[in-house]
Chains A and B, each alone.
Chain A
Amino acid sequence: MSVQPQMPAVWRTETKPHKFCPGCGHPLVLKALGEAITELGIQEKAMLGCDIGCSLLAWDLFNLDSVQTHHGRTVPIMVGIKRAKPEVITIAYMGDGGGYAIGSQHLVNTAMRNDRVTVILVNNIQYAMTGGQMAPTTLPGQKTETSPYGRDVEATGNPAQGPEMVAAITSEGAYVARGTVADVRQLKRFIKKALENQIAGRGFSFVEALSLCPTNWATNAKETWRMVEEEMPRFFKVGELKVPGEKKEG
């Protein structure tokens, strides 16, 4: 007897199997996102923008209107849509490179404006689709294709604290959290609250998700999970950073 996993209603079966690598964290995040969208009943008015990088492989994953953008430009495109049509729910989906490097100016300005968009940022501590180069979130000493001798924090700084920065510069009404694929139930709670924040029109919403990339980390299953469960949380604190007017979890 084979076990059929339950996929969210918004999952598009015609485009499966998807193109993510075996062991990738994106499908876990996307499944949580899909369930949140289904449970909130926003399939009709939700729109997905994908960055360039592995996140782009989600462009035809859902039965949602989706658009591929340019690297780092997903946020302004979703802001553009939202400002023109405030009744839609815009979701900008990207990686740590698209969010914190090339897209950082847009992220900062959108956060400062408290734009009513939702950003889901998947953090796997390197540029995956281009073959594993160093990213702003790369860990100290971590070997990547452009830090082959290990990341030197003296020369290149410490891993970027994205949600912390966003929480600091957004106004009241924003929702900011960091979840992890090591706790998908919690991640889904965060994503749902982020989307609810946009639905209620309170402010900017941002969820970073610690994720896996065994392909470029060159790790086996055990080591991959150790990275996301033990190593990454040493540098990236999991929990809610900003909740409009309420008590924070984590």
Chain B
Amino acid sequence: MTDKPIQGEQRVFMTGNEAVAWAALAAGAQIMYGYPITPQNEIMHYWTRLAPMYGRKFLQTEDEISAGFTTIGGVLAGVKAFTGSAGPGNTLMQEPMSMAEMMRLPTVMVVTQRGGPSTATVIYSQQEVTMTCYGGNGEGFRIVYSTSGQQDLFDYTIKAFNTAWKYRFPTFVLGDGYQAKMREPFVIYDPELRGIEMVKAEPYMGNPGTPGIDRDPAHLRNTYNMEDELLEAVRQIGAAYEKISPEVVEYEQFETGDAKVLLVAHGIVSRAAQGAVKVLRQQGYQVGHFRPITLRPFPGVELKAAADKARHVLLIESSYGQFKKLVTDGIYGCTTPILSYLKPGEGITVEEIVAEAKKLF
């Protein structure tokens, strides 16, 4: 019953939601807490079917607020716990995630972005960037991976558990409804066989020994009495976050060396941008693409370096400017003009990006 869920490596043809379920199993997640909301439901459907075979657990909670707080509970108990949500559910998750931020709890949450604001559509968007990166009443001390397809979803869901438990910040896998529902080929694998260091979970509460006698009691707080106490606490969290950022930050560059037009996009739109670079280069256009993989911490320094060399930045997202805000904040001081192609809630094709980029030549 406690055999490894994935033996060796295997090429598969699956939806993103299924990929997440398998990755969580492979990462050693012990329990999932969740609540129904489209388009992430199938993560729960696969998990509830597979979990008993590997001694893992599940609870469907009464809502997302509870799913977030029960996930925190799992983590406090020293167990790899995760949850998933989207749209209005993600909105509700912000309350528990604020607590996770303040108390540096290694929660893992998968987000399958759908249209917003409010109920909007169940389909797709990139409109949960601001919320996932900076939601709640926090300062954004979170780690956010933006995935561009099934292989990413599998790889980064495993990584999310390791990152969360190593660095102790709430960690998010930011996918979307397209990735969740589409089917494409990728490779699932046993992470240990690939030399990936699997970080162990540890309890925050319930360690062996009697508190006050054998050991200090765990007294975990998220409240402070005076302003100066809070200032100190937040500065400490901030300092820790800055310290680990260089180890955690991830990005990819495609032919940016001599690019006159730099395409900047994340998540699944990055794939379309990559496709556009191929097409445009074939036609003789000097176009490159910078893809931030972590939106938090944001690769501002590296992006600025690439943007400084270009004549134009073309920023593309399925939102009204949420990613753009991260970019302009991250590359502050860069004087390269930025043009935006913003399509809130709708997919962006290779053809569209090619057409937009050509306008700049």
Contact = CB atoms under 8 A, between A and B. Distances in A.
- The residue in B49, B60, B88 that gathers the most chain A C-beta atoms within 10 A of its C-beta is B60
B82 to A, nearest CB: 15
Interface string B137-151: 000000000000000
A102 B63 contact: yes
Interface in B114-151: 118-119
A131 interface: yes
Interface stretch (A16-24, A75-83, A145-153, A241-249): A145-153
Nearest to A97: B36
A52 interface: yes
A104 B48 CA distance: 24
Contact of B58 (A70, A72, A146): A146
B119 A68 contact: yes
Contact of A145 (B35, B44, B64, B118): B44
Contacts of A136: 62
A175 interface: no
A133 B63 contact: no
A143 to B, nearest CB: 11
A224 B47 CA distance: 28
Interface in B77-103: 88
A130 B119 contact: no
Interface residues of A, number: 22
A148 B49 contact: yes
A77 to B, nearest CB: 13
A127 B119 contact: no
Q: Looking at chain B's contact residues, is the secondary structure mostly helix, strand, loop, or mixed?
A: mixed
A148 to B, nearest CB: 5
A71 interface: yes
B45 interface: yes
B339 interface: no
Interface residues of B, number: 20
Contacts of B63: 71-72, 101-102
Interface in B198-218: none
Given A102-B63, A104-B62, A146 B118 contact: no
A134 interface: yes
B36 A146 contact: yes
Given A104-B62, A148-B49, A71 B88 contact: yes
Contacts of B88: 52, 70-71
B62 A134 contact: no
A145 B41 contact: yes
A52 to B, nearest CB: 6
Contact of A52 (B44, B60, B119): B119
Contact of A102 (B34, B45, B62): B62
Contacts of B37: 71, 130
B62 A146 contact: no
Interface of A: 52, 68, 70-72, 97, 101-102, 104, 127, 129-131, 133-134, 136, 145-149, 156
Interface of B: 34-38, 41, 44-45, 48-49, 52, 58-60, 62-64, 88, 118-119
